[in-house]
């Protein structure tokens, strides 16, 4: 292949190093010293001290004016949570690399846009090898920001410079602080002279966002007003897996050499039929979806553990626990994998990524051990949970809802069986998202917000209780009464997979 992943990455670095940028390595995906952040979710996180003007003047960081790198990111919680899309779509991953270039008080919109254009489209730059994407596939989405628009109009016809609102094109770090307009670059995978403008920012897999150029020029004050910043900053982020899919002429992040070797190993480990890569706008193929979930999640677990986290009960650790459980369940239920298949995939991730992220190689044993332990304990829970759910689910499906009375009985029944199941959460650690997933497959909806609220209230009470004996008791009482009060919202829905029993 002309654009193996490694070349895609190296070309980005070479290009920006050639434009005077210093290579600045990725920070850990687990931001140990930033409690405001669950996981690193963008390249700029590690430059926050520069953005906020708090960088120690004696450090190399404070002297940076131009930097570039690939940042390890996880978006599976907090402000950016893509977990629910992962597996269902083909371009959101929980773990991904974000290629980026930065200017700290140095160049601004003109250079940032011109260089992005040069890197993406120019074919015979005398100095650098560049990506040579066809220019008629590229769309820019931006705020009505005249400066950026005028620059884009040098390269693109007005019909492909599209106005969007603040949701997509105004970046803010928080309620106050540095912020500014951005330009997102989108790529039409189909071409053939079609007009894809209406597909931009529309959840369409044939037309996807690849790069975001953020121009930080304001400070959001406490009163909500925008004050111009003395030193302007550029912060860009390009999805490495998305760019690679585009350069390899594929329709999906997963059809590239970033994921296919992992798919091959999943196939060998599970004996499932090979990944078909059928991604239509029709129904999602469940086996393919399971491949995507498992491959995505083993990357996330491997990187997060390499950077010092692990599955557990609170905060980021709980996010990792849920991700692991989601993957194991998909593997077992859909790909019919044997217990232990998941930790066996760590070596695949290392084969694909270990040369670039050497921490994976160094910690292979530890990563595998932690996943193995967690996988084994979850498999026990899962076996119990599935059995229980199958029983409950079957009797629920046996009901027909003819009268109001049936409705009342039915909802009481669901409520009580789900309450029992949710209450066993504490003991068996059967997570709500799995309950939800399994309930959905049976045509039921679980009141997740209510559950989370009940859990939070119960936790708070338990935390505040002084008496160690009273605490667990009050926790259980509180949880059970809130769950009974809240009821369980349900509706009959078309079964997603009528023959799928789990």
User: How far is it, in rounded angstroms, from Cα 212 to Cα 209?
Assistant: 8
Nearest to 297 by CA among 502, 448, 446, 82: 82
Burial 219-249 (b: 16+ CB within 10 A, else e): bbeeeeeeeebeebbbbbbbbbbbbbbbbbe
- CA dist list (Å): 365 to 308, 346, 462, 475: 13, 9, 37, 38
171 vs 342 by CB, closer to Mg ion: 171
**Which residue number, 92 or 316, has a Cβ lying nearer to ligand ATP?**
92
For the CB of residue 182, give the shortest distance to Mg ion in the complex, in Å: 7
Q: Of Mg ion, ligand ATP, none, which one sits near residue 96, judging by CB under 5 to 8 A according to partner kind?
A: ligand ATP
User: In the complex, what is the shortest distance from the CB of residue 461 to Mg ion, in angstroms, rounded to a whole number?
Assistant: 35
Burial letters 377-390, b for 16+ CB under 10 A, else e? ebbebbeebbebbe
Q: Which is nearer to ligand ATP, 39 or 475 (CB)?
A: 39
CA distance 338 to 80: 33
Q: In whole angstroms, give the CA distance from residue 342 to residue 349.
A: 11
Contact call for residue 183 and Mg ion (CB under 5 A): no
Partner whose footprint covers residue 239, from Mg ion, ligand ATP, none (CB < 5 to 8 Å by kind): ligand ATP
Choose among 208, 210, 204, 209: nearest CA to 281. Answer: 204
Kindly state the smallest distance separating residue 37's Cβ from ligand ATP, in Å.
Answer: 14
| Comparison of 45 and 442: residue with beta carbon closer to ligand ATP | 45
DSSP helix/strand/coil, 291: helix
* CB nearer to Mg ion: pick between 212 and 348: 212
Instruction: Give least dist CB 376 to ligand ATP, A.
Output: 29
Which residues does 361 contact at the CB level (< 8 Å), separation at least 6? Answer: 350, 354
| Residue 300 binding Mg ion, by CB under 5 A | no
Nearest to 238 by CA among 225, 247, 250: 247
Gyration radius from the chain CA atoms: 25
Minimal distance, residue 212 CB to ligand ATP, in Å: 3
Structure tokens at 407: 């409705």
Shortest distance in whole angstroms from residue 200 CB to Mg ion: 10
Q: In the chain, what are the helix, strand and coil shares in percent, each to the nearest 5?
A: 50, 15, 35
H-helix segments, 355-500: 358-362, 364-398, 404-428, 432-441, 448-464, 470-486
What does 237 interact with, of ligand ATP, Mg ion, none (CB < 5 to 8 A by kind)? ligand ATP
At how many degrees (to 10) do helices 470-486 and 404-428 cross? 150
Binds 435: which of Mg ion, ligand ATP, none (CB < 5-8 Å by kind): none
Dihedral angle of Cα 469, 471, 472, 473, to the nearest 10 degrees: 80
- The residue among 96 and 115 lying less far from ligand ATP, judged by its C-beta, is 96
SS3 for 374? helix
Specify the residue, 12 or 389, whose C-beta has the smaller distance to Mg ion.
12
SS3 189: coil
Considering only residues 242 to 281 of the shown chain, the ones binding Mg ion according to CB under 5 A are: none
User: Closest CB to ligand ATP among 21 and 75?
Assistant: 75
Residue 208 C-beta: closest distance to Mg ion, Å: 9
| Least CB distance to ligand ATP at residue 375 (A) | 24
Contact map string, positions 128 to 167, toward Mg ion, x by CB under 5 A: ----------------------------------------
Shortest Å, Cβ 352 to Mg ion: 24
- Binding partner selected for residue 241 from Mg ion, ligand ATP, none, CB under the kind-specific 5 to 8 Å limit: ligand ATP
Quick one: what does residue 296 bind among Mg ion, ligand ATP, none, with the CB cut-off 5 to 8 Å set by partner type? Answer: none
With respect to ligand ATP, which residue has the nearer C-beta, 79 or 110?
79
Residue 99 CB partners (closer than 8 Å, separation 6+): 9, 12, 43, 68, 69, 70, 237, 238, 239, 240, 243
| Interface pick for Mg ion out of 212, 300, 343, 368 (rule CB under 5 A) | 212
**Stretch binding Mg ion (CB under 5 A), from 209-217, 257-265, 285-293, 480-488:** 209-217
Phi-psi region of 12 (alpha: psi -120 to 50; beta: other; left: phi over 0): alpha
Residues binding ligand ATP (CB under 6 A): 42, 75, 82, 92-93, 96, 98, 209-212, 237-239, 241-242
Residue nearest to ligand ATP (CB): 239
CA–CA separation, 331 and 329 (whole Å) = 5
Minimum distance from residue 12 beta carbon to ligand ATP (Å): 13
Smaller CB separation from ligand ATP, 204 or 369: 204
Identify what 299 binds: ligand ATP, Mg ion, none; CB under 5 to 8 Å per kind: none
C-alpha dihedral sign at 243, 246, 252, 258: negative
The binder of 242, among ligand ATP, Mg ion, none, by C-beta within 5 to 8 A per type, is ligand ATP
Q: Shortest gap between Cβ of 214 and Mg ion (angstroms)?
A: 9
Binding site for Mg ion (CB under 5 A): 184, 209, 212
């Amino acid at each position: 292949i002309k654009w193996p992943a490694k070349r895609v990455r190296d070309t980005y670095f070479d290009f920006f190093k050639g434009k005077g940028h210093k290579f600045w390595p990725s920070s850990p995906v687990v931001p140990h010293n930033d409690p405001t952040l669950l996981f690193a979710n963008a390249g700029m996180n590690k430059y926050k001290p520069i953005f906020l003007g708090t960088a120690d003047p004696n450090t190399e960081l404070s002297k940076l004016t131009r930097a570039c790198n690939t940042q390890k990111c996880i978006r599976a919680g907090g402000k950016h949570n893509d977990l629910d899309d992962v597996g269902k779509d083909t371009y959101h991953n929980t773990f991904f690399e974000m290629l980026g270039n930065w200017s700290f008080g140095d160049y601004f919109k003109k250079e940032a846009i011109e260089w992005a254009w040069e890197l993406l489209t120019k074919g015979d730059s005398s100095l650098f090898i560049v990506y040579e994407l066809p220019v008629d596939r590229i769309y820019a989405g931006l705020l009505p920001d005249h400066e950026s628009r005028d620059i884009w109009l040098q390269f693109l016809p007005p019909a492909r410079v599209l106005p969007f609102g603040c949701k997509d094109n105004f970046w803010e770090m928080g309620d106050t602080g540095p912020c500014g307009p951005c330009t997102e670059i989108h790529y039409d995978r189909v071409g053939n002279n079609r007009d894809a403008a209406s597909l931009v920012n529309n959840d369409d897999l044939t037309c996807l966002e690849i790069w975001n150029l953020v121009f930080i020029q304001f400070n959001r004050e406490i009163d909500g007003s925008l004050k111009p910043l003395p030193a302007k900053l550029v912060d860009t982020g390009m999805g490495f897996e998305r760019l690679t899919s585009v350069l390899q002429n594929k329709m999906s992040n997963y059809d590239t050499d970033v994921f296919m070797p992992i798919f091959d190993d999943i196939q060998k480990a599970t004996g499932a039929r090979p990944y078909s890569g059928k991604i239509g706008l029709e129904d999602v193929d469940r086996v393919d979806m399971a491949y995507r979930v498992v491959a995505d999640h083993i990357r996330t677990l491997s990187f997060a553990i390499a950077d010092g986290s692990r599955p557990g009960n609170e905060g980021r650790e709980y996010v990792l626990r849920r991700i692991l459980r989601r993957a194991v369940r998909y593997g077992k239920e859909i790909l019919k994998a044997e217990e232990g298949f998941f930790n066996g995939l760590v070596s695949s991730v290392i084969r694909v990524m270990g040369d670039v992220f050497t921490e994976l190689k160094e910690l292979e044993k530890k990563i595998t051990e932690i996943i193995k332990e967690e996988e084994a304990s979850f498999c026990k829970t899962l076996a119990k949970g599935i059995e229980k759910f199958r029983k409950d689910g079957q009797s629920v499906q046996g009901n027909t809802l003819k009268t109001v009375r049936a409705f009342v009985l039915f909802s009481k029944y669901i409520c009580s069986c789900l309450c029992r199941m949710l209450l066993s959460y504490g003991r068996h650690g059967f997570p709500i998202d799995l309950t939800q997933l399994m309930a959905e497959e049976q045509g039921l909806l679980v009141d997740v917000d209510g559950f989370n609220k009940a859990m939070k209230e119960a936790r708070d009470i338990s935390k505040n209780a002084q008496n160690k004996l009273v605490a667990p008791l009050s926790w259980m009482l509180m949880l059970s009464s809130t769950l009974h009060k809240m009821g369980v919202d349900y509706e009959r829905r078309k079964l997603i997979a009528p023959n799928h029993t789990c």
